[in-house]
Each structure stands twice: as structure tokens, then as C-alpha cells.
Chains A and B, each alone.
Chain A
């Protein structure tokens, strides 16, 4: 029989609850900024990946292979410990005045996830009948404008389930930001554990917050799809 004394008050009130709450706020900020960023970047890379212009196609290809096939943790370390070494001093001085840990984590999560999103969106585009592109172009839209106004809105509708997966992965992957000192939820939970030795309570609380965050993301994207993107539920 264990003789561990549960003390839920540690995580529900007082200073340690404040820490967890602050961590939750950072996790949400990190997730929301990177979700929006990776979605937009994913759309752009997907369109580049379907380009007829060889250099653009090659760039997109290299981008996808590179960022999908290397570990996110290495990418986070690269942006945080590596990237600033090749930047000019003025930029570095400016970076030091900002929250560079947070920015590096956002950049890493955004770029990493965008590669997966781009491939999902591309498969959505391929499911749209080619006549849609023909009819758009025959009304005078250029290729890119046809993509923007006609093809991508339909492709995104089809891509909603895999997109939700990518957004959930992103929200959970944001916990890796603790390795470069971003005071997000996992970081704060570990702080609480270090100070109180109440690891069970601290990480249970963190787990619950991640769970709720994931459910809320799923719910919001589904609702947006039902209300705005595809009110009839067709195709």
C-alpha cells in the first residue's frame, strides 16, 4: 500500500495554482498563434507544391521533406540555439529585448506543422474535380486567384478532419517548448512538482488542461465548419 498524501489544494488554490494558470495561458497563446500561422503557411506551401514553375516546386518539395522528416525537438533547438548565430548583431540585440524563447517555439511549431498541413490540403485539392479550375479560369480568374477563391475553400472543407488532427498535435507538441525555457503548462507543472513534490497532482492538472484544450479545439473547428464553411454538410 502506498502512503502518498494527496493534496489537491496545491493545484487548485494559492501560488502554485497561479503558476499553472499562467502556464495554461502561455500554452494557449502558443497554440493559437502557431495554429493560425501553420494553417496559412500550409496553404501557401500546398499551392507552391502544385506549381508548374520548377524552382517553386523544388523549393516546396525540399521544405516538405526537410521539416516532416526531422524531429520537432531538434527544430526547436535549431531555431533557439542555432538561428540567431547567423543573424546580424542589430537583429540579435532586438531579439534579446523580446521574448525570444516564445518566438522560437512559435516559429518551430508553425513551420513543422505547416509541412503536414500542406500535404493534407494538397490531397484535399486533388479531390476537387478539375472542372472547377476550368470554370474558374474560363470566367477570367488567373490560376492563383482560382485557387484562392474557388479551389482552396472547397479543399479546406474536405480537409477538416485531418486538419483537426494536425491542430491537436500542435497543441500537444507545444509542451516541447519547455526545453528552451518557455514557461508553458508542462514547464509550470514541473516547477510545481519541484517545489512541492506533489507530482501526481501537478501533472494530473496539466493533463486535464491539455485534454480540455484539445476538446475545445476540436469543437471550435467542427463548429466553424458547420456554421461557416459547409452549412449544408455537402460532400
Chain B
């Protein structure tokens, strides 16, 4: 579903993606972790070309991103993207945030789109917030609306870029549960997160990155029980017991 082949990216002198090779199969749940500045956000943003790459190939759903014939807008409509900062449209209600793209891009009627949005809001537990504006919602609620907004496009792939990092601790669970529910539907997920509990329970595979390089790719069992790379061992120690 998503294939990275020898991908490189530089920000000026900084080599943020260094020969990345990765294959995410249909229905896979892939968790990407690593210290900040390791290139994991850049990696996930490259999948829908929010970050262009300078070398290598990325193939999503059979389409090469660097191919001039690939209609990037059409491809992006098939890829849901959930941001760390939610980024709901502040001028629209929760319902309208969800229905905008289906109406304008998928050409759904207002009625169809609203019916579908209502179902999605129920699924993320926010049926009563359909007419609320983002400013009236908590962080966790905003992030759940953002997930519903992405799902409304019926994407083939969902990308999550640190979806819980900007949330208060007591709101993290509600978002992770929605994501877990998604994983069970068989959707292809690529998730950048520090939530190791989520990685352990939900992921099919875990990728550990540092300095733009994929240092380790393993099943969660392998990764947590027996991380091979020294950087990964250190990272896990830091993140699992920060006080030691």
C-alpha cells in the first residue's frame, strides 16, 4: 500500500531522511517511533507529499508520487491525515468540518454527507457536538472530530502524526481507543507516536528511526522484549521509565 524505495530528503545541509526503505502492506498497522528530530514526522508527511523528497521513490496505492501523471489531489483524497495540532477549520462547526470535503470533492449531496457525518460523530462518541465550533471543544474532542473528518472521505490509508502529543493526559485514551477501533476494521494505518502501549497492543510492526535512518523494524513483541539497536534500547528505557 505504501512503499518507500531509497528515499532521501535534505533540509539544506540536514539529511532528514537517509535511504529509507519501507513497505506497509494493506491492512497493516505500522507504528513509527524515535526521538524528536529523528525524521519520523517528515517520513509520514512524505506519504501524501506534504514534504517533497529529493531522491528515491514513494509509491502509494500503486501510484508513484514523483510521477507527473499522478494526480496528487486525487491521491490525497484517498489518504486521511491526522495532525498533532488537530487543525480543525475554526470557522466551521464540527459537522461542517466533516462534510466539507465529501460535498466538494466526493460530490456527495448535503443530505448524504450529513447522514454519514452523524454516523461518524456517533462512532467517535461526539454525536451531541455536531453544531459545536472547534473553539467550544476540548483537545481530545477536537482530535476525534479531526479523525471523523478524515474518515468521511473513506480513505484507503490513515496517517497519524503524533495524534496525542498535544493532548492532556486524561484525553489521550479516548483518541487511542478510536484509533484502535480503526485498526480492527482492517484499514491501513501509519502512526507516528510515543504511545508505546498503543504500539504494543495495536501495531503489526514497529519502526524505530533516528538521524533520518530506520534503525530497527520489528514486531512489537521483538521490539519491546529485545530491541537490537543500542539507540532503540536507550530510547525505550527513556520513554518507558523516564525517572529510571
Contacts and interface: CB of A to CB of B under 8 A. Distances in A.
B49 to A, nearest CB: 9
A74 to B, nearest CB: 39
Interface string B70-102: 000110110101010101011100000000110
A75 interface: no
Contact of A131 (B73, B83, B101): B83
B172 to A, nearest CB: 21
B83 A142 contact: no
Contacts of B135: 232, 234-235
Nearest to B104: A149
Contacts of A141: 73, 101, 104-105
A230 B76 CA distance: 29
Interface in A127-148: 129, 131-132, 134-135, 137-142, 145
Interface residues of B, number: 24
A145 B104 contact: yes
Contact of B87 (A132, A157, A232): A132
B76 A140 contact: yes
B136 interface: yes
B106 to A, nearest CB: 9
How many A residues are at the interface, by size bracket? 20 to 34
A154 B92 CA distance: 10
A157 B104 contact: no
Contacts of A145: 104
Nearest to B132: A232
A140 B101 contact: yes
A169 B91 CA distance: 28
Contacts of B50: 134, 137-138
B146 to A, nearest CB: 8
A234 B48 CA distance: 31
Nearest to A129: B87
A138 B104 contact: no
B149 interface: yes
B85 A131 contact: yes
Contacts of A132: 87, 89
Interface string A104-138: 00000000000000000000000001011011011
Closest 7 CB pairs of A and B: A140-B77, A138-B81, A139-B101, A135-B87, A234-B135, A131-B87, A140-B76
12 contacts: A132-B89, A135-B81, A139-B76, A139-B81, A139-B150, A140-B76, A140-B77, A140-B105, A149-B100, A149-B104, A150-B100, A234-B90
Given A131-B85, A139-B153, A235-B90, 17 more contacts: A132-B87, A134-B50, A134-B87, A135-B87, A135-B89, A137-B50, A139-B149, A140-B76, A140-B101, A141-B101, A145-B104, A150-B89, A153-B91, A154-B89, A154-B90, A154-B91, A232-B133
